[in-house]
Chains A and B, each alone.
Chain A
Amino acid sequence: MDRLASPERAPRVLPPRRLLALAVVLGVACALFVGTALAHSGSLGGSRQDLSVPQWLVLMTGGGAVGASFLLASFVTDRSFLRAVHDSERGLGSPVRPLVVIGRIGGVVGLVGVLVTGLFADPLGLTQPLRNLAVLVVWVGWWAGFSMTTYLVGDTWPVLNPWRTVASVLPSLDRSLPERVGSWPSVGLLLALVWLEVVSPVADDPTLLGAVVLAYTVFTVAGAAVFGTETWFSRVDPVSRVFAAYGRVAPLTVEDGRVRARVPGMALSEASWLSGRSDVAFVVALLWVTTYDGFVATPTWRGVVTPLVEAGVPAPLLYPLALVVGFVLFYGAYRLAARSGKRAADSLLTTDEVARRFAPSLLAIAAGYHVAHYLGYFLSLSPALLGALSNPFSPPPPLELVLPSWFGGVGLTFVLVGHVLAIWVAHTAAFELFPSRVQAIRSQYALTAVMVLYTMTSLLIVSQPAIEVPYL
Chain B
Amino acid sequence: MSGSAEPTANDAVAVPEAGPFVCAHCGRPFAREAYLALHYGVDHDEPLDAERRAAFETAREEEEAALRQFRLKALLALVFTYFGFLMLWAVVNLLL
Contacts and interface: CB of A to CB of B under 8 A. Distances in A.
Contacts of A271: 11
B70 A64 contact: no
Nearest to A353: B14
Interface in A239-262: 241, 244-245
Contacts of A241: 1
A21 interface: no
B34 A9 contact: no
A439 B78 CA distance: 21
B1 A183 contact: yes
Contacts of B6: 272
Given A357-B11, A432-B11, A433-B11, A244 B81 contact: no
Interface string A73-106: 0110101000000000000000000000000000
Nearest to A79: B42
B11 A272 contact: yes
B42 A353 contact: no
A159 interface: no
Contacts, number: 151
Given A57-B92, A230-B3, A435 B31 contact: no
B11 A36 contact: no
A2 B8 contact: yes
B69 to A, nearest CB: 9
Given A57-B92, A270-B10, A437 B2 contact: no
A40 B89 CA distance: 9
A6 B74 contact: no
B24 to A, nearest CB: 14
A465 B26 CA distance: 54
Contacts of A183: 1, 4
Contacts of A52: 96
A3 B12 contact: yes
Q: Categorize the interface residue count of chain A.
A: 35 or more
B43 interface: yes
B88 interface: yes
A71 B29 contact: no
Interface in A434-455: 434-439, 441
Contact of A436 (B3, B34, B85): B34
A139 B1 CA distance: 24
Contact of A438 (B41, B70, B74): B70
Given A346-B32, A348-B17, A349-B13, A244 B41 contact: no
Interface stretch (A163-171, A215-223, A273-281, A309-317): A273-281
A348 B42 contact: no
Contacts of B77: 71
A279 B16 contact: no
B42 A350 contact: no
Contacts of B3: 230-231, 233-235
A72 interface: yes
Contacts of B16: 348-350, 353
Contact of B1 (A36, A234, A346, A356): A234
Contacts of A8: 41-42
A348 B85 CA distance: 38
B59 to A, nearest CB: 8
Interface in A339-378: 346-350, 352-353, 356-357
Nearest to B5: A275
Contacts of B11: 1, 3-4, 270-272, 357, 432-433
Interface of B: 1-19, 26, 29-32, 34-36, 38-39, 41-45, 48, 57, 59-60, 63, 66-67, 70-71, 74, 77-78, 81-82, 85-86, 88-89, 92, 96
23 contacts: A1-B10, A1-B11, A3-B26, A4-B43, A11-B57, A29-B78, A36-B86, A54-B96, A71-B78, A233-B3, A270-B11, A272-B10, A273-B1, A273-B4, A275-B4, A348-B17, A348-B18, A350-B16, A356-B14, A435-B35, A435-B43, A436-B34, A437-B63
Given A74-B70, A348-B31, A436-B63, 7 more contacts: A36-B86, A71-B77, A233-B3, A282-B1, A350-B17, A352-B15, A432-B11
